[in-house]
């Protein structure tokens, strides 16, 4: 008689009933960038009440840029519920959202570190990593998630200032932050970059944003090959249409926000909690050989 196999360890779950997921048409809700999750209607689901962890990241120490809202917020909640200590970066004007995330992390009994500041500054990126390492007591996970997305109808209307701001946020900042973080990352550590489906299926009104996400996807693959011998995994997640404040604060025209996600197979945008488990899975040894991948 064969021995019974032990039960499989519970995977991270997000319990969002499909029948209750918000669908378009959504109300008008244009916000000044960077915007606030707290002012979105309907409110996005980041896992506040729907994500159940299982201790898969116990002892890990994570830094997440853009951790106050959207996908970054969902990842911060998931990491804390999986047992990690978490530092989040955000802009000072996003403090209201950040305060909520910090409270949620602390509610799980984890260390929560708030690190506001503008990652378009190289010197700030260096101090961001140093402060995260000091206050967390180390670093084993880096999530480059913060992004800038502002739609522009024509190339002629795209200013050099906007083009530069998008590249500084989406390309330069991950480079600066990752370079500063690498000396602190030991074998078994992980870097996850948030790219976008826009890197592969660009929209005409997101010309600069799409370019930056393609850059980040290639950065991910190249860096993964470079640091694999050090035992550090580098992967990326490329979300499609998710219901985040990135869209309603200038990322899409308001008429598109009202119908956001309608053209997807499910007829709705994804909720941030639905993609957070990919970030958890990308860190664990379940995908230890997935060292150069971009997950869609």
Q: How far apart are CA 263 and CA 266, in angstroms?
A: 8
Q: Token pair for residue 191? A: 């870097």
**What SS3 string covers 23-66?**
CCCCCCCCCCCCCCHHHCCCCCCCCCCCEECCCCCCCCEEEEEC
Judge whether 51 counts as a catalytic residue. no
In the chain, where does DSSP find H-type helix? 70-81, 95-107, 122-136, 160-167, 173-181, 207-227, 245-246, 254-258, 272-283
**Tokens 């522009």 appear where?**
152
Which of 172, 209, 242, 279 is the catalytic position?
Answer: 209
Q: How far apart are CA 126 and CA 70, in angstroms?
A: 24
Other CB atoms within a 10 A radius of the CB of residue 229 amount to 8
Q: Token pair for residue 111? A: 């260390």
Q: Which residues are catalytic?
A: 209
């Amino acid at each position: 008689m064969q021995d019974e196999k032990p039960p499989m360890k519970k995977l991270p779950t997000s319990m969002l009933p499909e029948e209750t997921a918000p669908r378009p048409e959504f109300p008008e809700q244009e916000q000044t960038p960077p915007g606030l999750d707290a002012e979105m209607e309907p409110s996005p689901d980041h896992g506040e009440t729907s994500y159940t962890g299982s201790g898969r990241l116990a002892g890990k120490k994570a830094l997440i840029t853009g951790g106050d809202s959207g996908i970054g917020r969902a990842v911060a909640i998931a990491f804390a519920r999986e047992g990690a200590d978490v530092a989040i970066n955000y802009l000072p004007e996003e403090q209201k959202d950040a305060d909520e995330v910090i409270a949620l992390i602390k509610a799980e009994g984890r260390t929560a570190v708030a690190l506001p500041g503008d990652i378009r500054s190289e010197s700030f990126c260096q101090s961001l990593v140093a402060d995260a390492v000091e206050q967390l007591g180390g670093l084993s996970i880096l999530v480059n998630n913060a992004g800038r997305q502002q739609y522009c109808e024509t190339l002629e209307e795209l200013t050099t200032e906007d083009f530069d701001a998008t590249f500084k946020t989406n390309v330069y900042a991950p480079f600066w932050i990752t370079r500063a973080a690498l000396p602190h990352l030991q074998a078994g550590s992980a870097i996850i970059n948030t790219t976008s489906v826009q890197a592969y299926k660009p929209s005409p009104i997101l010309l600069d944003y799409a370019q930056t996400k393609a850059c980040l996807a290639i950065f991910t693959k190249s860096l993964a090959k470079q640091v694999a011998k050090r035992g550090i995994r580098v992967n990326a997640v490329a979300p499609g249409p998710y219901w985040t404040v990135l869209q309603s604060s200038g990322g899409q025209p308001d008429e598109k926000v009202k119908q956001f996600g309608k053209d997807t197979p499910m007829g709705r945008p994804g909720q941030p909690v639905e993609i957070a488990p990919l970030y958890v899975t990308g860190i664990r040894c379940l995908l230890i050989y997935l060292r150069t991948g971009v997950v869609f």
